[in-house]
Amino acid sequence: MTETLQRAADLYRQGLPSGEFCEFAIEGCDALRTGVHLMRSGLSRSGGPFVCGMGYGSSQFEAAVSARGELFEMITLADAAKEWTHTEGTFEEVDGKEGFPAIDPYGLVLPVGLDDVDRHRFVWTDVRNLLTDETFWAPIEFVASSRAALPSGYQAVTPPISNGNGAGDSEARGITHGLLELCQRDGNASSFRALDQGRILENPPLDPDTAQLVARLQERGFTILFKLADLSVGIPSVYAIPVVEGEDNPLAMTACGEAADPDLPLALRKALLEALAARARKVFSHDTTGVHRHYEPSVVSERAAKIDPAQEEPRAVEAMQELLALSPRQVRERLESTVYRRDRTFPSSSLDTARLPNEPEDRVRYMLDRLQAENMTAYAKTVRRGDAYAAKVLVPGIEMELASFYRLGVRGARRLLERGDPLLRHQPGPGRQKLTLRPEQEAELGGPLYLDKERLDRITAPLYFLYREPTPGVTRVMAGRRDAA
């Protein structure tokens, strides 16, 4: 394992472009020091933005590898996007262009309330079908990982997001990382955070190291909640929530970790380590008292002080500012009926768990077989730098970003209908918007469906700080400007 990690760490570092590289530990931002390590790796390029990746692990080295991997995939995919092939047109105009079929936008889990999607002039880019190796056209907003990758002036139907990004010492490993993240997002799209269904995993199968970590935390007053969001192509999407009686830091209180993996003990380990690391990450990123200065190099602080809040998602900035103004008691009250919810136990033994094959190519095949069993396939863009790879994976039909961007497709609608959730109705009404589906998709669901956006907003607004976070340092910049005023 150590040799594999060392190889990955070296390849990610070697694959980065020239610039000033820095790496520093920030786990000390958590006053309770859980023993989980958290690293930040950054690269500053002349005339370019400062880009940072964060990584966690049971050792500082493991955390550094994770941070470098995130940094590598962010920079590599962003740079590659500048050279992507583009074409413009409606689905009908582009389907078959240059001999390439186009992915139907209606299968990509669109935001509710869109009109005339067939007449919308998308910008398209090429992706590779991972089952057949054929080239397809895909709308660029579903392939890009950030707004910067979109053509200037292009009006995307939904904001680009980094879900499905992956990195590895082989193309297959990077693709597997992206596929598993999409399973995680699909599993928790409508069963997490403000929409938590309160499913506590009974007798979670922890590996020995994770069990020892939980025991140490319990001795220090932690309660660890392991919860099931849902299954995605038969793979459990789980999350871990560390609860500390008497916690006095609102940022640390909101920490949570998520993971999806066929190997349930591995998924639980990932989720717990991420949750504990998130306690320090959130404090480092958003705390305005200056604790970050004890860990952050001055060159990073100087760059962060120049962040422009106007470029941020306003809703995310406002939610984080609201969180910082809440007392610990107020935060706990908001979390009690949602994130801390414990309505029923779910027997871990009922979950099908199997280890992924060892070889990266076999791992990809295993995941593609799971998708194919549910009539789905995966597409990807991959980039190689040296012997390291970055991938952006796209799976039509996979659910994500319901609460943030109101995206809801057939799979997500079926889940809401099965549990009788009042967010979804067959009748129009005040505050409701129609799901953006083709007639044949609507027929699968018993007719047109309407998402109650107003109700969803009422549910998520008090906890929106759990969904989208502004760039680290934005809250400090804004606090400074208010002080200056």
Confidence grade of residue 50 (pLDDT, cut at 50, 70, 90) = confident
* Mean of pLDDT values over 142-155: 94
Interatomic CA distance for residues 356 and 339, integer angstroms: 30
Q: Is 352 a residue whose pLDDT tops 90? A: no
Average of per-residue pLDDT across 407-431: 97
The mean pLDDT value for 46-66 works out to: 91
Of 484, 477, 48, nearest to 305 by C-alpha is 477
Q: Is the pLDDT of residue 485 over 70?
A: no
**CA–CA separation, 217 and 53 (whole Å):** 27
| 443 Cβ neighbours under 8 A, 6+ residues apart | none
Is the pLDDT score of 139 beyond 60? yes
pLDDT at 480: 83
Q: Residue 11, exposed/middle/buried by CB under 10 A (0-12, 13-18, 19+)?
A: buried
Alpha carbons 81 and 145: distance in angstroms, whole number:
9
CA 293 from centroid of its chain's CA atoms: 27
Is pLDDT of 278 > 80?
A: yes
d(CA 475, CA 481): 10
**Predicted confidence (pLDDT) at residue 136 exceeds the cutoff of 80:** yes
> Look-up: residue for tokens 């136990």?
345
Residue 482 has what pLDDT? 57
Contact by Cβ (8 Å): 125, 151: no
Q: What is the pLDDT of residue 483?
A: 46
Sign of the CA dihedral 481, 482, 484, 485? positive
Chain position carrying tokens 């989720």 = 271
Average pLDDT score over residue span 303-308: 84
Task: Give the pLDDT mean for 75-101.
Answer: 97
**In this structure, which amino acid lies at residue 109?**
V
- Over residues 189-245, the pLDDT tens digits come to 999 999 999 999 999 999 999 999 999 999 999 999 999 999 999 999 999 999 998
Q: What is the percent of the chain where pLDDT is above 90?
A: 91
- In this prediction, residue 302 carries a pLDDT of 82
The pLDDT of residue 91 is: 98
C-alpha dihedral over 124, 378, 186, 363, to 10 degrees?
-140
pLDDT in tens, 461-484: 999 999 999 999 999 999 886 543
User: Measuring CA to CA, how many Å separate 397 from each of 110, 403, 437?
Assistant: 10, 17, 12
What is the token pair recorded at 445?
Answer: 């669901």
pLDDT at 458: 97
Q: Where residue 355 falls among pLDDT bands split at 50, 70, 90?
A: confident
Query: 226 Cβ partners below 8 Å, 6+ apart?
Result: 200, 201, 204, 238, 239, 240, 268, 271, 272
Within 10 angstroms of residue 109's Cβ, the number of other Cβ atoms is 29
Q: Phi-psi bin for 451: left (phi > 0), alpha (psi -120 to 50), beta?
A: beta
Q: How far apart are CA 196 and CA 294, in angstroms?
A: 36
pLDDT given at position 353: 84
Q: What is the mean pLDDT of residues 260-264?
A: 95
Using the structure block, give the residue that is written with the tokens 């991972």: 130
pLDDT at 285 over 90: yes
At residue 381, does pLDDT exceed 50? yes
User: What are 152's two structure tokens?
Assistant: 């200037």
Q: Which two tokens stand for residue 83?
A: 């050279």
Q: Give the span between the Cα atoms of 157 and 465, in whole angstroms.
A: 23
Arithmetic mean of pLDDT, 278-286: 97
At 102-130, the pLDDT tens digits run 999 999 999 999 999 999 999 999 999 99
CA-closest candidate to residue 66, choices 37, 35, 28, 44: 37
**Size of the chain, expressed as the number of residues it contains:** 485
In this structure, what is the dihedral angle of CA atoms 367, 363, 382, 190, given to the nearest 10 degrees? Answer: 40
Q: How far apart are CA 333 and CA 98, in angstroms?
A: 57
Is the pLDDT reported for residue 308 higher than 70?
yes
For residue 49, what pLDDT is reported?
75
Strand partners, 385: 388
pLDDT (tens digit, 9 = 90+) per residue, 317-345? 999 999 999 999 999 999 999 999 999 99
Task: Quickly state the pLDDT bin for 1 (edges 50, 70, 90).
Answer: low
Average pLDDT of span 293-313 = 87
Euclidean distance between CA atoms 280 and 277, whole angstroms: 6
When mean pLDDT is compared across 45-49, 88-92, 318-322, 326-330, the lowest value belongs to: 45-49
Q: Is 196 exposed, middle or buried (0-12, 13-18, 19+ CB in 10 A)?
A: buried
- The CA distance from 202 to 318, in Å, is 37
Percent above pLDDT 70 for the chain: 99
Provide the mean pLDDT of the chain.
95
